[in-house]
Structures are given as C-alpha cells and as structure tokens.
Amino acid sequence: MRKIWIASALLFSFAQADISYQGTSVGAQAAIFGIGANVKGKVSDNLGIRASYETFSVNDYEVTDDTTKYNFDLDLEDFMLVGDYHPWKSSFKLSAGMIVNNSVLDGDITPNTRGNDKIEFDFNNKHYSYRVDELGSIQTKVDFDPVAPYIGFGWDTSFDKQKGFGFTFDIGVAYQGAAQAEYKLKYGAALDIDKRIAEETANIPDGPAKTAKINEIKTEVERRRQEIESEIKRDLDDEMLSLQDELDKYEWMPYISIGFNYKF
C-alpha cells in the first residue's frame, strides 16, 4: 500500500510539470506486457515525460515445473511512468521511471487424472487420490510487487520534430522483485459447509434438532478437511517452494516495445 501511495505522489508531481501541449505526442505500442497507448510531453529540448498503459490476456496458459503442470489464466496490465532524457536532443533517449504492475496470474494445478468421481495428483513422488465431491481442484495464485523500477534506452524519432509521425523503440529492464506463489484447496460439494447445511436441514424445523444437525455437519466437514490438508499440505508446500524458486529467476524482467506516435 505504501508503494501505491508513493507511485500516486510521483504521478501527481509529474502532472504538475510545465509541459507544453505543442510538444505533446500520442501513440500506440506493442510491448512484452501487451498492447497499449502512450502520451509524451516535451519538458525541455532534451527531456520528456511519458505515460503509457499496456494490457494483454491469455487463458489456459500451461506451465510445467519439474513434473507438475499448471493451467493459468494470465491477465497482464501495467501503467508505466518514465522520464526520457535525450542527451543529444535527437531521437536517442535514456529512460528511467517505474511500472505499476496490476497483473494477475490465477490457475489450477493440473491433476494427473480426473474422472466423474475421482481426482488424482502426484507430488514429490507421492500419489494422492480423492473423491471429486471432496476435493474439486487445487487453485494457485501468483502475486507481483505493485511497483517496479525501470531503466532503459531507445529511440523516439518524433522528439526533435516540430510535428508529425514518429517511430518509437524501447528496450530496458524492470525490477519486479520476487513474485509470491500460494495455493488454496477448492473443496467439492461434500465438503461445502453452507451447501450441506442448506440441503440437509431444509426440511428440519428450527429448534434443537436442527441445531444438532448443523453442528454434526460442521464437525464432519471440518474433520475431513483437516485430514485432506494434513495429508497433502507438506508436499504442496514443497511444490510451492519449487515454483517459487522458478519465479525467483524473473526478478529482473526484460522490457521491449515498438510503436509509432504523432507529435502535435
């Protein structure tokens, strides 16, 4: 949260800069984080301030870590705020700024087999088999740091023009830190407390008998959940550590974009 406030404060500060609308350019780009648009203001003969937005989505993105397969839905979204320094007052630039990362990576661990009544997983050379109405899936979520510092270089051929179209190219690197991976067991209908209570007590009048039935359902469901968690938790924790080690390789994320703009 503190980083978000810092990013907001920086954005407000940049917004107060004395940028001439006459030197403003707008454009579009295709980047490693997706397709987007940008606006750039010329502050002086060799300095510009650029803001861009990029987004991209992929469903059913498969990742394999050792022997474990993941099926992710990947929603990339970022807002980039960068200062471009043109040392020779030409198209070449050196860039520094930040990326506000709103990307989301959600998915499931792909089971070895899944039938109408059974789901099976293998972790750490151990086999696990459960009824589908008890364990529906193992959900996985990856979170990223909200703000990533960025440095890079590139070209903006419209910068030294009075007006007109230009070509843009950027290459750099963002430090996004270590992404955090976590899992959650998604239970089936047999271990859904609210659903069980609604179905199994619908015809029982309010009173001691209904209360006793509700407590019986809660005790049964919680006991079975604890059994499943105690069985699979250690190996799942090890699997998350393995995935975490893989994610740690991408603390420094390369950035490349190519596009065009128009300077007013």
Which class for 125: exposed (0-12), middle (13-18), buried (19 or more C-beta within 10 A)? exposed
> In this structure, are residues 248 and 134 in contact, taking their beta carbons and an 8 Å threshold?
no
End-to-end Cα distance, the chain: 37
Q: Residue 172 pLDDT more than 50?
A: yes
Question: Taking residues 172-178, what's their average pLDDT?
Answer: 92
What's the confidence (pLDDT) of residue 18? 46
Q: Residue 196 pLDDT more than 70?
A: yes
Higher pLDDT, 209 or 15: 209
Q: Residue 22 pLDDT more than 80?
A: no
What's the confidence (pLDDT) of residue 66? 67
> In this structure, are residues 254 and 173 in contact, taking their beta carbons and an 8 Å threshold?
yes
Q: Is 133 helix (H, G, I), strand (E, B) or coil?
A: coil
Alpha-carbon gap, residue 213 to 60, rounded angstroms: 41
147, two tokens: 């703000």
State the residue range of the domain holding 157: 2-263
Beta-bridge partners for 152:
95, 172
Domain count, the chain: 1
What's the confidence (pLDDT) of residue 239? 84
> In this structure, are residues 37 and 31 in contact, taking their beta carbons and an 8 Å threshold?
no
What's the confidence (pLDDT) of residue 261? 95
Q: How confident is the model at residue 153 (pLDDT cuts 50, 70, 90)?
A: very high
Amino acid identity, position 112? N
Higher pLDDT, 20 or 250: 250
pTM: 0.76
**Domain containing residue 93: CATH number:** 2.40.160
> Which residues, 6 or more positions from 249, have their beta carbon under 8 angstroms from its beta carbon?
none
User: Mean pLDDT of all residues in the chain?
Assistant: 87
Which class for 193: exposed (0-12), middle (13-18), buried (19 or more C-beta within 10 A)? middle
Alpha-carbon gap, residue 187 to 66, rounded angstroms: 26
| Model pLDDT for residues 211-246, shown as the tens digit of each residue | 999 999 999 999 999 999 998 888 888 888 888 888
140, two tokens: 């996985």
| Model pLDDT for residues 102-129, shown as the tens digit of each residue | 888 898 988 888 888 899 988 777 889 9
Q: How confident is the model at residue 21 (pLDDT cuts 50, 70, 90)?
A: low
Q: How confident is the model at residue 7 (pLDDT cuts 50, 70, 90)?
A: very low
> In this structure, are residues 241 and 5 in contact, taking their beta carbons and an 8 Å threshold?
no
What's the confidence (pLDDT) of residue 226? 94
What's the confidence (pLDDT) of residue 262? 95
What's the confidence (pLDDT) of residue 10? 43
Alpha-carbon gap, residue 53 to 99, rounded angstroms: 10
- Which backbone phi and psi does 234 adopt, to 5 degrees? -60, -45
What's the confidence (pLDDT) of residue 74? 87
Higher pLDDT, 5 or 165: 165
Reference 113, options 132, 126, 134; nearest CA is 132
Question: Taking residues 62-88, what's their average pLDDT?
Answer: 87
What's the confidence (pLDDT) of residue 250? 85
